[in-house]
Amino acid sequence: MPAVAEMLKASEAAVVSRVSLRDVNRVIDEHILPEAFISLDNGRHVLAGACSLITFYFESARRLTSEERLFTIRTAEPRLARARTLPWSALLLEDWTVHHAFLTIDLMPFMRGASERLDDLAAAREVVTSSADILGGTPVIRGTRVPVHDVAASVSAGNSTERILETWPSITVGAPGDRQGVDGASPLR
C-alpha cells in the first residue's frame, strides 16, 4: 500500500478519491487542498492521505456548504500533517472527528475508503508495467503486450470478463500477486 506521505500523480489521486481528474485539478487550482498536501514539481501530485479530503469535499457537497467543507479540511490539515509519518493502519486508529459549533463531522469513513482504494492502487501497480522496449513505453499488463488502456476501455464499455479474456488470451485472472495476468484488484474486477 502506498504510504500516507506518498505523493500520487493527479490521475492516481483521482482514482483513489473517486473523482474526475478535472476535480483533482480543481482542488489544486482553487486551493481547496492545503499547499502542504500538493506538489507542482515535475507534474501535479497529491499526498496520498489527502485523497480522503478530496472525497469528503465532493461527496459532502449536497449536505454541507463550501465554507463548512473548507473549515473541515483546514481543521483536519494539522492532524493529517502530523500523521504523514504513520502507516495507514495507525492513521485509521486516529480520531478523525471535526467539531464546529453545532456541527460534528466524522472523516473516518473517508479515511477508510481512501485506504481501501490505495490497496487497490498498489495491486494495480503490481499488474502494470511500462518499458521503452514494449510498445514504446505504453503501460501494459505485466508479462503481456496488452495495453492497460485497451483493457480499461473494454471494461468501461461494459464488456464481460469472458469477452475480454477471449479478446486477449494472454491475460489471465489469477490470485493477487500473479505476475502474469490480472488479479482481483485489477480493472477486470
Residue 57 DSSP SS3: helix
Instruction: Report pLDDT for 1.
Output: 58
Contacts of 118 (CB under 8 A, 6+ apart): 1, 2, 16, 48, 51, 88
Q: How many residues does the chain have?
A: 189
Directed axis angle between helix 51-59 and helix 108-127, to 10°?
A: 120
What does the alpha-carbon distance between residue 24 and residue 14 come to, in Å, rounded to a whole number? 6
Given a cut of 50, the residues of the chain with pLDDT beneath it are 175-189
Question: pTM value?
Answer: 0.77
Instruction: Report pLDDT for 156.
Output: 81
What integer best gives the mean pLDDT of the chain? 86
Instruction: Report pLDDT for 52.
Output: 96
Instruction: Report pLDDT for 145.
Output: 84
